[in-house]
Amino acid sequence: MLCLFDLDGTLIDSEPGITACIRHALAKLDVPAPADLRPWIGPPLRHSFAPLLDHDAARVEAAVDYYHQRFAVLGWREHAVYPGIAAAIERLRQAGHTLAVVTSKPVRHAAPILEALPFGAAFDRLYGPDPASAHCEKATMIATALADFGAAPRKAAMIGDRRYDIEGAVANGIAGIGVLWGFGSREELQQAGAEALAQDPAHLADLLSA
């Protein structure tokens, strides 16, 4: 099976780095940061910055630039691997599944993270969005992955913690498996059309091996 994994909230807990970079960007623009930044993890940055910046395109782009400047130096290292993920990935690899990452992070930020992970070499490819896009491109990236690997929809799954992952799976006719240790809720994942929900990484490996 082709197993497509989200990165943030699925393989790694990236909240410290992401939220620090958001606060840095808003501070540069003298805009107070919201108290709760967890909902920002998953959607495109421009989508989240826009309401706080009066939908001023120039200020939104400035915020995105400030975010990326800090992330490239510090933010990409400010994360932790979820307990049990390494064992689940190794189990899937040993079972012969093909693994790839489909993330909302630009490849320039996601690549060094993946390379630094102890199990990063288990993933054959990495897919990220156009850095200039204000839209979620999960569906497009999943379609590209299916084409690249020559995988039939019935033999592929997208694994992630937010509705964008599941909606991208549904759009391509593949299984969407939600994980409950990330940043999305059970309700969000179910409403998006998740075929199954994984309680923990070992449960996820069970679902994908069934």
Q: Where are the domains of the chain?
A: 2-13+79-209, 15-77
Residues with Cβ within 8 Å of residue 179, at least 6 apart in sequence: 9, 10, 159, 160, 161, 197, 198, 204
- Average the pLDDT over 96-106 and give the result: 95
The CATH number of the domain covering residues in 15-77? 1.10.150.240
Asked if residue 51 lies in contact with residue 113, where contact means CB atoms within 8 angstroms, the answer is: no
Q: What is the mean pLDDT of the chain?
A: 94
Q: Helix, strand, coil proportions of the chain in percent (round to 5)?
A: 50, 15, 35
Question: What pLDDT shows up at residue 133?
Answer: 63
6 annotated active-site:
yes
Residue 37 pLDDT: 93
In this prediction, residue 132 has a pLDDT band, given cuts at 50, 70 and 90, of low
Please tell me the predicted confidence (pLDDT) of residue 136.
62
In sequence order, which residues have a C-beta less than 8 Å from that of residue 58 and are 6 or more positions away? none
CATH superfamily of the domain spanning 2-13+79-209: HAD superfamily/HAD-like (3.40.50.1000)
Find the Cα–Cα–Cα–Cα dihedral 146, 150, 151, 157, rounded to 10°. -30
Active-site residue, from 6, 8, 13, 161 = 6
